[in-house]
Amino acid sequence: MDTYIPNDTFDRLTVALAAIEPCAITGKREPDHMVQALVAAGIWPASVKPKKR
């Protein structure tokens, strides 16, 4: 399924992902680094959205 996001969000995301430094121990980009990049780009999972009452 394709998901389309605004261009400015896409740009923030690509910049944030490109800035991730590999872990000094594993040499890999770890999942928590990806989460930090997404949050820095203002992209949040729907599960954190406040529920309507």
Tell me: pLDDT of 53 over 80: no
CA angle 50-52-53, nearest 5°? 125
**Mean pLDDT across the stretch 34-49?**
81
Q: Which residue has the tokens 């590999």?
A: 22
Give the C-alpha separation, 29 to 21, whole Å: 7
What integer pLDDT is reported at residue 27 of this predicted model? Answer: 92
Tell me: pLDDT of 17 over 80: yes
What integer pLDDT is reported at residue 3 of this predicted model? Answer: 75
**Mean pLDDT across the stretch 6-16?**
86
Percent of the chain with pLDDT over 70: 100
**Mean pLDDT across the stretch 28-42?**
84
